[in-house]
Amino acid sequence: MAGDAPRVRFAPSPTGYFHVGSARTALFNWLVARQAGGTFVLRIEDTDAERGREEWVDGIISAMHWLSMDPDEGPFRQSERTARYHQAVDALWEGGRLYACDCTRDQIDARNKEHGIQTPGYDGFCRDRVVTREGHALRFRTPDEGITVVHDVIRGPVEFPCSAMDDFVAVKSTGVPLFVLANVVDDIDMTITHVIRGEDLLPTTPKGVLAWEALATLGWVTDGSTGGPSRPMPGLPVFAHLPMLVNEQRKKLSKRRDPVAVESYRDRGYLPEAFLNYLGLLGWSPPGGEELFDTAQMVEWFRLEDVNHSPAFFDVAKLTHMNGEYIRAMPFESFIEACGPWLTGPLAPWPEANFDPAVFAAMAPLVQERVAVFSEVPPMVDFLFLDQPVVEEEAWAKAVAGDELAGTILAAAIEAYSSLTGAWERDALHAATLAVGEGVGRKLGKAQAPIRVAVTGRRVGPPLFEALEELGPDKTLDRLRSALERLAAGSGR
Ligand code: GLU
């Protein structure tokens, strides 16, 4: 690897399910590494012991694996690097860049009020006081004047006047170093060249830059935590703050309201290739405007400079549609194989012994045309493998109980199907059903609705006559008779 190859990192805090926004951040980092022979580092920012949970860490690692974005280095864990952060705190303290502060929030608020200051900032009260370090928060002494400029590839230079910047708390009174410091110490030690992350972190970036520069001035060296020897400090990384993801109301995606967990997409049977393709479009699009592309094309075409800074709409319907396109484009054998976990084992809704791969294979081309995600496969064929169909009550109410001709149609279908003379196959069933419809003055589409619900339990599914052919005469006729009985019983039961 060339010496100037990028070193990027994905640095999630494990405080919940793996968010689609985090997955997009991981992807854009990964792309930058892959296209330039670089290194993709995974760093788990797990210093918040109260909110972090080990299962969230596992969730991140397994979802990244599902998306074929395994890290080249790491996972490093901040919880294992506390001693290193304390070294940085000591250096900054000894260099006079930190000072201890014993002000309470109430005292700060009261002083601000007295001076007519609306913003809840810190007034620097303890800057020149002598407060013991032990047991007190340590604040970073920010410059009084000047401008901190964050050079952002996506946004251009973003200026933060130092006069508007607080002496921020870098170490809590409990002695625990805060996010900004740990984050910067890690980026230095891991010789990160590009910090690519969500725009929600942009306001903290100037603090990080100041801390970085302070350490540089103090002659700080890296700890060689990524395997190499300890080296002089690297220069500031390139920054890229990725646009926020919003829902259809243009509101920031919320963990509570919006379906943001990557795990849930995996578990509902989205294809990782389709999911990555869609993630790639969140804030970026190829120069040629293509919408469907594979990972290799993304690696070739992606440029951090081309990322858009306006919010990106996370459109689940579009993602689902795209997934359907990927499914339809699959070679038939791959489709069958990908259906496997949904057909046998714990996800299959029928008794294992009932499943017949040959029957499924016969229906599969029709299923492949109709599903957008794999979790839709079992409901589409379950009538074939369950002893009794799952009757969707809404479908029953609408297409059977709510249709005054349903009884006549079902009775006529029983009559017509049981007196078929030739083979039990789709064309004969089609012709017989057409005749049933004509008998009641209905076109085929409307005539078959009560039959479909009686036999499959649902209003949507594979084409009816292919379905009946696979189900066979005995089960078809049994189900038509039970439906007629249920209807006659009149209670709707
Ligand atoms: N741990 C931070 C977060 O999850 C991200 C830090 C970073 O990328 O710099 O929000």
Instruction: Calculate how far, in angstroms, residue 200's C-alpha sits from the geometric centre of ligand 1.
Output: 9
| Matching residue, tokens 């045309």 | 369
- CA-CA distance, 247 to 308, in Å (whole number)? 17
- CA-CA distance, 265 to 271, in Å (whole number)? 9
Residue 220 and residue 138 share a domain: yes
**Is 196 near ligand 1, meaning CB less than 6 Å away?**
no
Residue 344 and residue 311 share a domain: no
Nearest ligand 1 atom to alpha carbon 45? 1
Q: Of all helices (H) and strands (E), which one includes residue 56?
A: helix 54-66
Question: Would residue 219 count as lying in a domain?
Answer: yes
Torsion sign, CA atoms 429, 430, 431, 435: positive
Residue 434 and residue 347 share a domain: no
Question: Would residue 2 count as lying in a domain?
Answer: no
Domain boundary, last residue among 211, 242, 273:
242
Q: Give pLDDT, residue 308.
A: 96
- CA-CA distance, 54 to 38, in Å (whole number)? 29
Residue 233 and residue 101 share a domain: yes
Residue 460 and residue 443 share a domain: yes
Domain hosting residue 114, numbered range: 81-242
3-state helix vs strand vs coil in the chain, percent to 5? 50, 10, 40
- CA-CA distance, 317 to 324, in Å (whole number)? 11
Burial of 47 (0-12, 13-18, 19+ CB in 10 A): buried
- CA-CA distance, 463 to 455, in Å (whole number)? 12
Residue 206 and residue 72 share a domain: no
pTM of the predicted model as reported, rounded to 2 decimal places:
0.92
Q: Give pLDDT, residue 35.
A: 96
Catalytic residue among 255, 318, 398, 446: 255
**Is 323 near ligand 1, meaning CB less than 6 Å away?**
no
β-bridge mates for residue 147, sequence order? 161
**Crossing angle of helices 473-489 and 464-471, rounded to 10°:** 110
- CA-CA distance, 171 to 167, in Å (whole number)? 12
Instruction: Quote the number of domains for the chain.
Output: 4
Both structure tokens of 284: 């970026």
- CA-CA distance, 282 to 90, in Å (whole number)? 41
**What are the mean pLDDT values of the chain's consecutive 10-residue runs (493 residues total)?**
80 94 98 97 89 88 97 95 96 97 93 82 92 96 94 96 92 94 96 96 97 95 76 90 96 89 96 98 96 97 96 97 98 98 95 96 97 97 97 97 97 97 96 97 96 97 97 98 94 44
Q: Give pLDDT, residue 120.
A: 72
| Residue 186 near residue 79 (C-beta atoms within 8 A) | no
Question: Would residue 325 count as lying in a domain?
Answer: no
**Is 183 near ligand 1, meaning CB less than 6 Å away?**
yes
- Give Cα 280 distance to the centre of its chain: 12
- CA-CA distance, 205 to 425, in Å (whole number)? 69
1: Cα within 13 Å, side-chain hemisphere? 14
Which of 7, 13, 56, when mutated, tests ligand 1's pocket best, judged by the most ligand atoms within 8 Å of its CB?
13
Question: Would residue 312 count as lying in a domain?
Answer: yes
**Is 11 near ligand 1, meaning CB less than 6 Å away?**
yes
Compute the residue count for the chain: 493
Output the CA–CA distances (angstroms, integers) from residue 149 to 109, 157, 165, 182, 492, in the order listed. Answer: 29, 6, 13, 21, 71
Strands 245-246 and 98-101, bridge-based pairing: unpaired
Task: Provide the 3-class DSSP secondary structure of residue 24.
Answer: helix
Nearest ligand 1 atom to alpha carbon 25? 8
Nearest ligand 1 atom to alpha carbon 197? 8
Question: Would residue 169 count as lying in a domain?
Answer: yes
Residue 284 and residue 148 share a domain: no
CATH number, residue 412: 1.10.10.350
The closest alpha carbon to 234, from 247, 215, 251, 253, belongs to 215
The closest alpha carbon to 225, from 216, 217, 236, 234, belongs to 234
Cis status, amide bond into 75, omega within 30 of 0: yes
Under 8 Å CB-to-CB from 440, ≥6 apart: which residues?
Answer: 405, 408, 409, 412, 447
**Is 12 near ligand 1, meaning CB less than 6 Å away?**
yes
Output the CA–CA distances (angstroms, integers) from residue 268 to 116, 246, 264, 384, in the order listed. Answer: 55, 22, 6, 22
Instruction: Calculate how far, in angstroms, residue 23's C-alpha sits from the geometric centre of ligand 1.
Output: 12
**Is 201 near ligand 1, meaning CB less than 6 Å away?**
yes
Residue 475 and residue 402 share a domain: yes
Residue 237 and residue 123 share a domain: yes
207 an active-site residue?
Answer: no
- CA-CA distance, 333 to 49, in Å (whole number)? 47
Q: DSSP assignment, residue 77? A: E
Q: Which amino acid is at 348?
A: A
Question: Would residue 309 count as lying in a domain?
Answer: yes
The 3-class SS string of 266-288 reads HHCCCCHHHHHHHHHCCCCCCCC
Domain boundary, last residue among 190, 217, 242:
242
CATH number, residue 196: 3.40.50.620
Q: Give pLDDT, residue 36.
A: 96
| Matching residue, tokens 């690097």 | 81
**Is 384 near ligand 1, meaning CB less than 6 Å away?**
no
Instruction: Calculate how far, in angstroms, residue 102's C-alpha sits from the geometric centre of ligand 1.
Output: 28
Residue 405 and residue 279 share a domain: no
Question: Would residue 28 count as lying in a domain?
Answer: yes
Question: Would residue 1 count as lying in a domain?
Answer: no
Nearest ligand 1 atom to alpha carbon 200? 10
Which of 22, 200, 201, when mutated, tests ligand 1's pocket best, judged by the most ligand atoms within 8 Å of its CB?
201
Instruction: Calculate how far, in angstroms, residue 49's C-alpha sits from the geometric centre of ligand 1.
Output: 15
Q: Give pLDDT, residue 492.
A: 43
Residue 98 and residue 221 share a domain: yes
**Crossing angle of helices 332-343 and 377-385, rounded to 10°:** 70
The closest alpha carbon to 69, from 246, 242, 275, 241, belongs to 275
Q: Give pLDDT, residue 3.
A: 59
Residue 345 and residue 314 share a domain: no
| Residue 150 near residue 109 (C-beta atoms within 8 A) | no
Domain boundary, last residue among 290, 319, 348:
319
β-bridge mates for residue 73, sequence order? 41
